[in-house]
Amino acid sequence: MKKPQIFVLVHGAWHGGWCWRRVANSLSAAGHVVFTPTLTGLGERAHLVRPGITIDDGATDVVNVIKAEELEDVILVGHSYGGGPVSLVADRIPEALKHLVYLDATILFDGQSLFSTLHPTVVAERLKLAEESSGGLTIPPPAPGVFGVTDPRDAEWLRRRLTPQPVDCYRTPIRLNHPPGNGVKKTYISCTHPLYKPTRPAHDWAKSHKDWRYIELPCGHDAMVICPDALVEILMGCTEVK
């Protein structure tokens, strides 16, 4: 058997480590080591929500897992919003990483916030929802269909598990000392059917840069829920990229 690979899977907005269950089970069954941290203020850590939680806190969550578990040669995967924390982890500890995978994820540059990448009407709508639901602290989760999840059982699973997203994660700019990826090998996976509009600019950017491996996956945004087997095949292929 080949040497087991180490995967750290970082979820997107409103989700938690729970969303990787199918992918994590398959990777573990193949003999690999898998961590699925939940970022502060979300999922089973929703009780820690507070003003001022940012992408930086999410990156610290992931860095602390890598350091506490003494992980090396990590294949670090970030889904959607998780692209921000993943980029910050690479900025801080590239020596611990083997490969970065951006799964239909946002790519932010130094000084950008997630709100700065969205249309002003979308930003205004999310801020309005946050104010109405939590006094401006968190953005309530959208319907599962927004993430391309249409199977009734999967949609109900998401409805039960999705939690409000701290607003400051979207509002506070990211601070990077290096370009996204910081020299680590990178793969971008675009989920194309249907297209999740907020990540379209990242698709286009990754596709146009030769130092990024670009793959299209014909399923909805929450690929780890909708088409876990196809996603696992791609992730295991990343272990062979030279």
Distance CA 59, CA 12 (A): 12
Are 219 and 190 in contact by the 8 Å Cβ rule? The answer is no
190 classed as catalytic? no
Report how far residue 174's alpha carbon sits from residue 165's, in angstroms, rounded to the nearest whole number. 17
Count Cβ atoms below 10 Å from residue 177 Cβ, excluding itself: 9
Question: What are the structure tokens assigned to 118, written together?
Answer: 């969205």
Q: What phi-psi label fits residue 101: left (phi over 0), alpha (psi between -120 and 50 degrees) or beta?
A: beta
The catalytically annotated residue of 26, 80, 113, 190 is 80
Mode of pairing for the β-strands spanning 33-35 and 165-166: unpaired
Please state, in angstroms and rounded to a whole number, the distance separating the CA atoms of residues 234 and 93.
24
Q: Rounded distance, CA 66 to CA 113, Å?
A: 25
Catalytic residues: 80
